[in-house]
Amino acid sequence: MKSLLLTLLLVASAVATSHGTSRSEPYLIHPLRLKSGSGSNGASLIKGINCASWRLGVEAHNIIDWKTVPQECEEYVGNYMLGLQYRQDSQAVTREAYLYAKSLNLSRDGKDIWVFDIDETSLSNLPYYAKHGFGAVPYNATSFNEWVEVGVAPALPESKKLYKKLLSLGINVVFLTGRPLSQKHITASNLNLAGYHTWTKLIVKDVSFTDKTAVEYKSAERRKLEKSGYRIVGNIGDQWSDILGTNTGHRTFKLPDPLYYIS
Amino acid sequence: MKSLLLTLLLVASAVATSHGTSRSEPYLIHPLRLKSGSGSNGASLIKGINCASWRLGVEAHNIIDWKTVPQECEEYVGNYMLGLQYRQDSQAVTREAYLYAKSLNLSRDGKDIWVFDIDETSLSNLPYYAKHGFGAVPYNATSFNEWVEVGVAPALPESKKLYKKLLSLGINVVFLTGRPLSQKHITASNLNLAGYHTWTKLIVKDVSFTDKTAVEYKSAERRKLEKSGYRIVGNIGDQWSDILGTNTGHRTFKLPDPLYYIS
């Protein structure tokens, strides 16, 4: 399997390389195995779950409503989250967000805001998830809340960099989180500790939204912001529920998160 | 750089592996380099564009309105498209689509439809793009149309498999493409040649939509379908413009496509 993959990559690489030098030569094109008839040609190449494909499926919102990371992908997800790719993937998102922000014609009346989610966006719970199966074991509210109450989650550096750049552009920041009122104080303290020292609002989830989805809760709070005269020029989160629904903002950005899914 | 990456991955791998064997041991947690102060800690690790991050950014709709694949990613994209990962990523999407379709309570009155895009969804233009820089050179309408007029694009096997399974479930298929009326005949012929032998409608782009975006055109056509009494139970395409807008269908699926962007 690995040698087959390598061979294919080498062939492909040769094709791609030769392409640059001589456009008139014939190419060896992978025929997508159309002619063998069954239509299920890819299947034999794939045993079980391809964890890279699973992660892409999650990020592109094809795989939804999942409860835990597939068991066989725990190590893959752990390596991804602790390695460089997660950071580079995050940077590609925040870089794009900054390029967009820089292009805006801002009013500088204090009403241009950017909505930041907190968990796995502004703050990283990676120290917690690294000890709790990287999302491959079911969510445990008790132990997660204990971690939150310590208030030492580090910043996701790429998000903090974006945050600082947005502030310097004159865009104000609103934090909008699914954390409850009981955690508002420690969350503010944690944000400060992690280097987020200023914000226009820190919105936590009111008990009236207990039976609502994150999409409903966050849409409602964003609607209130817009009714108050704020213009949501950008919105960033790690969950699709941060950026779907209504009043999503002029442009949205999805940070990677293969650890958990919130609908 | 490569050796650093390898070292980090090995460390991460060791952490992830030890995790499975002994939960009480202390972990070496990557601290996200929070304490060094600048907030731009990731930057020094990253030179230029990380092509895997670029591709993820495209698939998660963070990177939009791009004209061509970044030059430095041509070989990466070529390898990806010709290799196994593209196929496995496609399979992860169509597998999810089938699991969803199977779960539906269908009426079997002929009104449940699934919308399929054509290029890079039902049919693959990979033989063309392999000869034209894998999206890294600007789109050339003349040469692309010459390729389309030959009518020999192969099926994307994963989509064809989904198509057959959907038909067997009693879901009808509507093809909705940005191809013009002048290419309708050859497109029907190509679909047949590639193994798509039946459809409820093959909708091509009317000249009245010439100045409209793909999102506007496809939304309008889907609206017409729903007004005619069809229920769009699913919608699959390789572009975000296939699945954004209005009347998107009960659930949407985004196939991978790092070759081009259509707004």
Residues of A with CB below 8 A from B135's CB?
Answer: none
ipTM for the predicted complex: 0.84
H helices within chain B, ranges in order?
2-21, 51-59, 74-82, 84-102, 126-130, 141-150, 157-169, 184-193, 214-227, 240-243
| B56–A96 CB contact, under 8 Å | no
Domains and CATH numbers, chain B: 2-47 (no CATH), 55-254 (3.40.50.1000)
The pLDDT value given to residue B259: 98
The pLDDT value given to residue B144: 98
| B157–A42 CB contact, under 8 Å | yes
Mean pLDDT rounded to a whole number for chain A: 87
Q: Are B32 and A154 in contact (CB under 8 A)?
A: yes
Instruction: Using 50 as the pLDDT threshold, list the residues of chain B that sit under it.
Output: 1-27, 34-47
**Relative orientation angle of helices B51-59 and A84-102, to the nearest 10 degrees:** 60
The pLDDT value given to residue B49: 80
The yes-or-no verdict on residue A208 having pLDDT over 50 is yes
The pLDDT value given to residue A72: 94
The pLDDT value given to residue B44: 35
Give the minimum alpha-carbon distance from B99 to chain A in angstroms, rounded to a whole number. 11
Q: Residues A218-256: pLDDT tens digits?
A: 999 999 999 999 999 999 999 999 999 999 999 999 999
Looking at chain A, the whole-number percentage of residues with pLDDT higher than 90 is 81
| B82–A12 CB contact, under 8 Å | yes
**First-to-final CA distance of chain A:** 36
**Relative orientation angle of helices A74-82 and A84-102, to the nearest 10 degrees:** 60
Q: Residues A42-67: pLDDT tens digits?
A: 333 334 689 999 999 999 999 999 99
Q: Residues B3-59: pLDDT tens digits?
A: 444 333 333 443 333 333 334 444 455 567 533 333 333 333 334 689 999 999 999
Q: In A118-147, which positions are buried (b, 16+ CB within 10 angstroms) versus exposed (e)?
A: bbbbbbbbbbbbbbbbbbbeeeeeeebeeb
The yes-or-no verdict on residue A26 having pLDDT over 60 is no
HSE-up (13 A, CA, CB side) for residue B241: 20
